Amino acid sequence: MRVIELFILRPVATLLISAATVLLGWLGYALMPVAPLPQVDFPTIMVEASLAGASPETMAATVAAPLERSMGQIAGISEMTSTSSQGSTNVIIQFELDRDIDGAARDVQAAINAARSQLPSSMASLPTYHKANPSDAPILMLALTSKRLSSGELYDLASSELQQKIAQVSGVGEVSLRGSALPAVRVELEPYQLSHYGISLDTVRRAIAEATTVEPKGQIQGEGTRWWIDADGQLDSAEQYRPLLISYSDGRAVTLGDVATVSDSIEDIYTAGFYNGQPAVMLGVTRSAGANMLETVDEIKALLPALREMLPDDVELDTVIDRSTTIRASLHETERTLGIAILLVIAVVLVFLRNLRAMVIPAVALPISLIGTCAVMYLLGYSLDNLSLMALIIATGFVVDDAIVVLENVSRHLEEGKPPLEAAMVGAREVGFTVLAMTLSLIAVFIPILLMGDIVGRLFREFAVTLSISLIVSLLVSLSLTPMLCSRLLKAPSAAAARRGGWLRACGRMVERGLDLLAAAYVASLGRALKRRRWVMLVLVFTVGLNIYLYTVVQKGFFPSQDTGMLMGQLRADQNISFQALSPVLIKFSQLIESDPAVANVMSSTGSGGFGSRNSANFFISLKPYDEREDSALEVANRLSAKAQGTPGAQLFLMPAEDLHIGGRSANATYQYSLQADDLAMLREWTPKVYAALSALPELSGVDSDAQDGGQQVELSIDRQAAIRYGIDVDMIDTFLNNAFSQRQVATLYRSLNQYYVVMGLESEYTQDPAVLDELFVLNDDGDRVPISAFASFKGGSAPLSVNHQDQTATSTIAFNLADGASLERAQRAIQRALVAIGLPDDIHGGFAGTAQAYQSLISSMPWLILAALLAMYIVLGVLYESLIHPLTILSTLPSAGIGALILMLVTGTQLTVIALIGILLLIGIVKKNAIMMIDFALDHERRTGAGPEQAILAACRMRFRPILMTSLAAFFGALPMVLASGGDADLRRPLGMAIVGGLVVSQLLTLYTTPVVYLYLDRAGRVIASFWRRRVGHLPDSAR
């Protein structure tokens, strides 16, 4: 290779190119964004709609259904779910990974406009949308508290001053407010006073609406002056509304204050929020799809001092949850692990070479390869995240291999008496093809991952490309800088230097003798193995069967749990609990959580300010830093949930917040199983049965169902004939009930920074018992008071607190966590058996959703992924060696790769997740490199000396034993820090390290014996095929040799 000689003969140019690589790499490293994981968000848009007073079934039929029909025609939707509760509907549309979020948003807006004519005319405003997934954990949570201002005033500050400014920050998907509602003028009517004066509720509503108008008044223009016309057409406060004239009765003017209690209050009085026990309003910030989390949080935090200056003096704005701190701590721990891996790999090289000059060469090549990779990562738009840094950690054991192979071969030529320059040229030229084959065949392992289009492929594309780039950079460095440094730094060993004393040289001689003895023992045992080839082949066949068996028994999962320092959860009380009864329960559970030593801050909210039904409350819990607590986030969540079981009044569901979330539906547990049916009654009948069956499974914990069908409702039965006789129609009845009980927004107050409402309803004492319906009157057009009991009767019934749809079909979802020691694979099998046992009808379609569904897809594709990696490596090796036989020899080493990894996972209870699978694929590449070094030397030895196959492979094993041992130990110690690391996301990296460490221990022993035996068998087979071919065709194809 003349290019190698060019780099050796021009050392200054080689050094300058290397220096430029380092500079560009440092620049890329400094400019790359930081994130917990690669950006693989599903583009998600949430549509919100509200209709005050409407029941969940009404919202589902009149609001959710038209929106779903309209938006269901948008191209590229992967999942559409909706939840309709009292007065509100949320539709969550999740698009395919390659869908542009801005284009999707335009399509959603067009669909909302198209559905406008089908929506109820009484909706105060059209549905709105946000480019965010509400089930994602917030990246930042702020609490607004004050000892003087009311919760409504705090909410107004947050809505008018803070929400919009934070939402303008690049990367923010949504800023949600919880804990209260906007200020409003509340009009609470006294029905007996209205009846006494003969005034209907609708008369009051019209009077309020007509008293507050904001219309253009025009202008007056003279010859030199212009006057704008203004009038006080808007009433702004309860004080101004009380004297409002409603009607006349017996010649007496009746004002609003005569028939109602008018107060300055809030829109929705059934909301509350707390921060560490103190009433508070919370701002939750979620990021938009594809936004960089740290950049977004940093920009918001830079804005906070200015926002605090805008607030009154006694108002505090506290940062409660900040994901950037845990992300940075995790990445610093990962960088520390990378540094330890580099030092361990360099130490391995020093032990084997025992020469400081020689050690400098791989010690320089290793960081240059890693830093140079950062330059390409930046150009590709990648980030510094757990997976890309994990790739660099693993790369430390790979990239040094190339330099070791070149260095060891050059050193061998020096020992043979060649001058340094010639030794560098000859040595690098001899192993150039070997290094190329090792690099390209290892990169081939990642080809199937790069071609995967699902969430796993997208998630690990950055990992695979980063590792591939590092290998390519290492290949270039090993064939340019490494031989040049060898020619300048290495010297032929002299007898005088060897005789000089010193404890370091004494240690070196001891290591040398140990390696010589180890190599001699290996060669002797290999000779005996070659005489018993059939036994060795039986061992190889046994390893194939053992791999299959271990794969079937090892526990499998999807993605290791993360410790983000944050818990999310929900408190669920009885379905018929009132707001007044729920509030003290919420406070009691908040105090229980605050008392845990691992908890730093607790935020909770209930009512329309948070997601969920009226009988639930939401929790956001910030944990202390990882080094200040003894337990992981999952352990803290399990401990708090167990402690809460002894607290009566409600159920508490907690789970760690994680960066990887699949699916748009929020749930109280990590995994989900969905039931769908066209017959809503059948779905409601079978959901409790499935819930009971799953709750009894020992493999599951924290089982929860979102089907809440046990709410109570008052069902009015109208005698239409009787109503007509009294001059009452159904529309008048609906209007009366809407005005009385729906907290109806009857007027809008326009102010400079926000809009507020006048909310009308009956006084609270008339809204606490259904029996009040017997005492209420409806006025007909003649002004006659007609009691409701004259034309209607009522009875109690059941009603859902929420109605859920998925892909326009009624759905109920059962969420669950895994019990201690259980795997997702075992849990799914147990669920399938339980459904068969209860006889789930075919009319109900069940299936795993979210993360559980992604796991099913991974498990089905896992064997094909491994097979595709093997096929890709065979093709690459066949092209490089121009042979159909020798790639099989190299691939024969692979069965031994999985045994050690799977055994270690079984022993330690580690699940075979997607991270561990990547480790096994990498292990295949590592083990294969050993075979390449053997086979490449043996083939070259046969060509140069004319030796037979057995002599050639024995010579190859003898000469390549040390570099094989060195490269394997380098990979071992490069992965070892991930196994031993601790910290927030150490559990995320540990399965990868375990797969490599466990696999190397076993495969290193087996391949040293199986590879030579397979080489001899396949060589014999190749000769038989060649002989047959000559007899039939007359010449031998090169590929069969």
CB 487 within 8 A of CB 366: no
Q: Find tokens 């040289």 and name the residue.
A: 505
pLDDT band of residue 1033 (cuts 50, 70, 90) is low
Could you read off the pLDDT of 308-326 as tens digits, one per residue? Answer: 998 888 889 999 888 888 8
Question: What percent of the chain is predicted at pLDDT more than 90?
Answer: 12
Q: What is residue 494's predicted lDDT score, i.e. its pLDDT?
A: 57
Interhelix angle 455-478/420-444, rounded to 10 degrees, is 170
Pairing of strands 183-189, 755-762: parallel
Radius of gyration of the chain (CA): 37
**CATH for the stretch 1-31+355-497:** 1.20.1640.10
Q: Is the pLDDT of residue 133 over 70?
A: no
CA 598, CA 624: separation in Å to the nearest integer?
6
pLDDT band of residue 188 (cuts 50, 70, 90) is very high
Question: What are the DSSP E strand ranges found in 389-534?
Answer: none
Q: What is residue 301's predicted lDDT score, i.e. its pLDDT?
A: 92
**CATH for the stretch 184-216+232-266+711-799:** 3.30.2090.10
Q: What is residue 305's predicted lDDT score, i.e. its pLDDT?
A: 92
874 versus 1039: the higher-pLDDT residue is 874
CA 348, CA 343: separation in Å to the nearest integer?
9
Q: Is the pLDDT of residue 591 over 50?
A: yes
pLDDT band of residue 377 (cuts 50, 70, 90) is very high
729 versus 448: the higher-pLDDT residue is 729
Question: What percent of the chain is predicted at pLDDT more than 70?
Answer: 95
Question: In sequence order, which residues have a C-beta less than 8 Å from that of residue 684 and are 6 or more positions away?
Answer: 707, 709, 800, 812
Q: What is the DSSP letter of 161?
A: I
* Runs of H (alpha helix) within 532-573: 533-553
Neighbours of 305 (CB within 10 A): 9
Q: Find tokens 């499998």 and name the residue.
A: 556
Q: What is residue 111's predicted lDDT score, i.e. its pLDDT?
A: 92
Residue ranges of domains in the chain: 1-31+355-497, 33-134, 184-216+232-266+711-799, 515-563+851-1026, 566-598+610-710+803-823+838-850
How is the beta sheet containing 616-623 ordered, strand by strand? 278-279, 272-275, 599-606, 616-623, 566-573, 650-656
CA 133, CA 114: separation in Å to the nearest integer?
23
Q: Average pLDDT, whole number, for the chain?
A: 83
CA 187, CA 205: separation in Å to the nearest integer?
10
Query: What is the distance between the terminal CA atoms of the chain, rounded to a whole angstrom?
Result: 24
> What number is the average pLDDT over the span 986-1014?
84
> What number is the average pLDDT over the span 266-294?
84
27 versus 544: the higher-pLDDT residue is 27
361 versus 1025: the higher-pLDDT residue is 361
Of 665, 682, 660, 657, nearest in space to 90 by CA:
665
φ, ψ for residue 656, nearest 5 deg: -65, 140
At the top level of CATH, the class of 33-134 is alpha beta
CB 235 within 8 A of CB 244: yes
Q: Is the pLDDT of residue 43 over 90?
A: no
Q: Is the pLDDT of residue 94 over 70?
A: yes
Q: Which CATH number fits domain 566-598+610-710+803-823+838-850: 3.30.70.1430, 1.10.10.10, 3.40.50.720, 3.40.50.300?
A: 3.30.70.1430
Could you read off the pLDDT of 842-866 as tens digits, one per residue? Answer: 888 888 887 777 777 777 777 777 7
CA 457, CA 460: separation in Å to the nearest integer?
5
pLDDT band of residue 823 (cuts 50, 70, 90) is confident
Q: What is residue 1034's predicted lDDT score, i.e. its pLDDT?
A: 57
Q: What is the DSSP secondary-structure string of 44-80?
A: EEEEEEE-TT--HHHHIIIIIHHHHHHHTTSTTEEEE
Domain 515-563+851-1026 grouped into CATH 1.20.1640.10: yes
pLDDT band of residue 396 (cuts 50, 70, 90) is confident
Of 1011, 1010, 976, nearest in space to 996 by CA:
976
Q: Is the pLDDT of residue 609 over 50?
A: no
Put residue 1036 in one of left, alpha, beta given phi > 0 → left and psi -120 to 50 → alpha.
Answer: beta
CA 766, CA 775: separation in Å to the nearest integer?
10
Neighbours of 463 (CB within 10 A): 26
- pTM for the model stands at 0.76
Could you read off the pLDDT of 913-925 as tens digits, one per residue? Answer: 888 888 887 887 7
Altogether, the residues listed in the chain come to a count of: 1041
Q: Find tokens 């094989």 and name the residue.
A: 964
pLDDT band of residue 610 (cuts 50, 70, 90) is very low
> What number is the average pLDDT over the span 208-222?
83
Q: Which of 544-553, 679-688, 771-780, 877-886 has the lowest mean pLDDT?
A: 877-886
Q: What is residue 664's predicted lDDT score, i.e. its pLDDT?
A: 63
Q: What is residue 283's predicted lDDT score, i.e. its pLDDT?
A: 92
Q: What is residue 1040's predicted lDDT score, i.e. its pLDDT?
A: 47
Q: What is residue 365's predicted lDDT score, i.e. its pLDDT?
A: 87
Q: What is residue 766's predicted lDDT score, i.e. its pLDDT?
A: 85
Q: Would you say the CATH fold of 566-598+610-710+803-823+838-850 matches that of 33-134? A: yes
